[in-house]
Amino acid sequence: MVNGIERPLDVLNNSKGKEVLVYLRGGKQFVGTLLAFDIHINLVLDNTKEMHDNEMKRSLGVTFIRGTEVLFISPASTALKDE
C-alpha cells in the first residue's frame, strides 16, 4: 500500500499524474493533477481548482505553487471524501 516510501519526497513521486489536495499556509486549498515538484516543494498542478468548503471556487489551469507556502499534500480521493 505504501511500499517504497523511504524519504518524504518519495510520496510526491508516487503522486505524479494523480489528483492531490494541496493545502497552503494561509488556508487556501487546491486540487489538481501533480505534474512536477522539486526539493523546495515547488509544485505544478494541472487542471487546478481552488477549493472552498469542498466546492470549486475557481478553475486555474496549469498552476505553479511556491513550495514554502505548502502546509500539506494528500491524495484528493481521500481528502475530499470525508470533509
Residue 16 binds its own copies (CB under 8 A)? no
* Shortest distance (Å) from residue 66 CB to its own copies: 5
CB 24 within 8 A of CB 69: yes
Q: What is the dihedral of CA 47, 62, 45, 27, to 10 degrees?
A: -90
Residues 45-74 vs its own copies: string with x where CB under 8 A? -x-x--------xxxxxxxxxxxxxxxxxx
Q: State the Rg of the chain over Cα.
A: 12
Q: Does 36 bind its own copies (CB under 8 A)?
A: yes
Burial class (CB in 10 A: 0-12, 13-18, 19+), 66: exposed
In the list 5, 31, 51, 52, the residue contacting its own copies (rule: CB under 8 A) is 5
Q: In this structure, what DSSP letter does residue 68 have?
A: G
| Count of residues in contact with its own copies, rule CB under 8 A | 51
* Interface residues toward its own copies, by CB under 8 A: 1-2, 5-12, 21, 24-26, 28, 30, 35-38, 41-44, 46, 48, 57-75, 77-79, 81-83
